[in-house]
Amino acid sequence: MRHSLELALQFAPGKNKSQIEALQKFLASFGRKTMKKIIYFLLITYHLSLITIFTGCAGFPIIGKKTTGKITTINENFNPDRLTDLGVIKKLAGYKKFLFISNANYTDWFEGFLRGEIVNEDGVPVENIQVMVDGIGFENAVTDVNGVYKIRFSVPIVKGISDANGKLIIHPKWESELEIKGTSYQPAVKDAPFRIYYNGNAGGVVALNEGKLPPKIIVKKITLGQYKTETKKKEAAEKSTESSTKKQEKPVKKEPGFEDDLFKQLENFNK
């Protein structure tokens, strides 16, 4: 390209020899500097694009939000017997696209297990008792041979805090099982709300608010005949209490109001 410009200048009309030589020197110096800059720029761009492409394909987050909290570890667990296998996990939340390059975006999630036991009235572990959870981020569980249930949870961390509320429902299908099989386990506690709290801003602290959720939940083995007998007794007791309350109720006497007192005073005054 530079040679073609020089030839065009040589044959350009109205240009003397000195002007052509000066322009040739200027083009020569300008061409060398420009070529060096272009070469350096292309090399740097090439290496940067290679790094970005390979790291983007590998899934390493170079651009984007890597974490949502200050502390991403569990430093103190106030309920180690109930909350087990705790950890903060990075999960892929999506990709941010810039031109032809896509960069992974990660968020932190608080994960672990909520542990408890289910026993009968004698304290013997009971297996195959279903435990359902009414809450987002929780999975249902079934007791094992030792009567232990482990409910897995995975909840997002927002601004360093993860606050999860749920409600445990113990053996929800025990009545239908009683009608089909003739025997079942009746839970003493049908449902119990709870709360799991993680604070990464306070140093990675985890706590469990159990509420009415005991560490050991008692279930009672019952047959269909026993259940019907107990139901009839409850209905009879409720009817007797209703009838006794109706008998004890007396008509309320009307208390004299302001107008009655005023009329009596006027009558006495006339007398």
What pLDDT, in 10s, does the model give residues 54-76? 554 444 444 444 444 445 678 88
Residue type, position 70, single letter: K
Contact present, 184 and 178 (Cβ < 8 Å) = yes
Residue 241 sits at the vertex; the CA angle it makes with 235 and 246, to the nearest 5 degrees, is 125
Q: Which residues lie closer than 8 Å to 266 by C-beta, 6 or more apart?
A: none
* C-alpha span between 97 and 99 (Å, rounded): 6
Query: How does 214-234 read in b/e, with b if 16+ C-beta sit within 10 Å?
Result: eeebbbeeeeeeebeeeeeee
Provide the residue count of the chain. Answer: 271
* C-alpha span between 267 and 54 (Å, rounded): 107
* Arithmetic mean of pLDDT, 99-121: 88
**Is the per-residue pLDDT at 122 higher than 70?**
yes
122 three-class SS: coil
Q: What is the DSSP letter of 214?
A: -
Give backbone dihedrals phi and psi of 191, rounded to 5 degrees, phi first.
Answer: -150, 155
Lowest model confidence (mean pLDDT) among 43-52, 100-109, 174-183: 43-52
Taking the model in full, what pTM does it have? 0.60
pLDDT digits (tens, 9 = 90+) for 10-50: 544 554 566 656 656 655 665 566 666 666 666 677 666 65
* C-alpha span between 214 and 189 (Å, rounded): 9
**Is the per-residue pLDDT at 97 higher than 80?**
no
pLDDT number for residue 206: 92
Q: Is pLDDT larger for residue 217 or for residue 45?
A: 217
pLDDT digits (tens, 9 = 90+) for 224-256: 888 888 888 777 777 767 666 666 665 555 555
